[in-house]
Structure 1
Amino acid sequence: MPPTLSLETTLSITVGGPVCGVDEAGRGPWAGPVSAAAVILNPDDIPVGIDDSKALTHARREALESEIKARAVAWGVGFASVEEIADLNILHATGLAMCRAIEALSVQPVAALVDGNYRFKLPCDVQTVVKGDSLSLSIAAASILAKTARDRLMVELDQEYPGYGFASHKGYNAPIHSAALLTLGPCPAHRRSWSPIRALLEAADA
């Protein structure tokens, strides 16, 4: 069953105001920032085909990104940098990216539906939704914007730091990525607090 607006509608009536969906992308990679997006959909103008970003092709995500941005009541994207991930840890950095995404909305929500089961401290009330990107249309829309924004940034980092294959694997573990790390060592885009990267640095210093 595709995601619906049922959770948004119910929560909006309860809180008496706009409800956004929030999701993140990039918690697991070895390189690059973590991203998050927040979306308040217009129930009368929802793009057809919104779904969990992982269930969509790259081309479909790109097309839906444009439609969501054009037709949503409000949308926002936020990032937390590699340095912030190291300073805060990935969980709190994800929360920071989510805060920035909500703060970037042109219409501030009263409540947020957040994918997962962790209740982040955000600028509005929070309701967590396990597997929310497959249940809630606004969370699914946020998953698309978070994914496309981060993918685009990783393509830019591929130009800045060639040789690692960031454009293809987006900073995740992949054979080309592991091989490049052994040959080139980490670059500034790598999460040096991550155990595989830290092990390489420690081996180089030994």
Structure 2
Amino acid sequence: MARPRSDSPSLFEILEKPDFSFETKAMTNGLWPCAGLDEAGRGPLAGPVVAAAVVLDPANIPSGLDDSKRLTAVQRDALFDEILGKALGVAVASVSAASIDASDIRKASLEAMRRALAGLPLTAKSALADGRDVPPDLECTCRALVKGDQRSQSIAAASIVAKVIRDRIMTVCGTQDDRYGFEVHMGYATARHRAAITEHGAAHRLHRVSFAPFRN
């Protein structure tokens, strides 16, 4: 006799959704405003790493905030506009490919987050950063959250803003130099991108020459 099929989702189908609990705790502890920090562009072969800092309005949080990688481009664009319209503060910063080469991608990502936090139009008393590391030299306390963009709505909002801005930067790069297809792959190591690198070499000031395949 066949076993009846459950209509409940399996453990592996349940996705953790970000909430506002970390921010609420910060408010309770007198550490408000609390900013979410995240970056986009650690892995690509080209372009800057872009970070965003977002302070959400607790009374007006956009619906549907999530890790930018779990959203479609259409969803990200819509939420980007909503975040900018509803948040108490948003700031974006970037670190160029040349600066990444002069240091390393981890340090560059943390520096971009530091700059984004410093660029907010209001002074944050605390921050939540995606990942394992706290950006150095911050003017406030900060907590690092592994998979923070799937746990904190403020970090999720920052991940969306950073991703949308970086994608738009790379799209412009693609219109300025049509040899590589940046507007399609956003600088990631796709087969098309690698083939273009083999044919044309590195794009000056845009490719990260400290990354493979350039080092090889």
TM-score bin, normalised by smaller chain: over 0.9
- Alignment equivalent of 1:79, drawn from 86, 94, 116: 94
Q: Does 1:140 align with 2:140?
A: no
Structure 1 residues 119-158: aligned runs within 5 Å: 119-121=134-136, 122-158=138-174
SS at 2:143 equivalent: strand
| Per-residue deviation, 1:14 | 2.0
Q: CA RMSD in A?
A: 1.0
Cα deviation 1:159-197 (Å, max 9, x = unaligned):
122111111110001010011011111112100111212
| Per-residue deviation, 1:63 | 0.6
Q: Does 1:48 align with 2:63?
A: yes
- Alignment equivalent of 1:2, drawn from 12, 17, 37: 17
Which runs of 5 or more structure 2 residues have no equivalent in the other structure?
1-15
Q: Does the 8 Å contact 1:24/1:94 carry over to 2?
A: yes
The residue aligned with 2:52 is 37
Q: Does 1:173 align with 2:189?
A: yes
Answer with 113-122 or 163-172: which moved more.
Answer: 113-122
Cα deviation 1:28-51 (Å, max 9, x = unaligned):
100000010010000100111111
SS at 1:66 equivalent: helix
Q: Does 1:192 align with 2:209?
A: yes
Equivalent pairs: percent with the same residue?
44
For 1:87 and 1:115, the matched residues in 2 are separated by 23
The residue aligned with 2:34 is 19
**Partner letter of residue 141 of structure 2?**
D
**Partner letter of residue 182 of structure 1?**
T
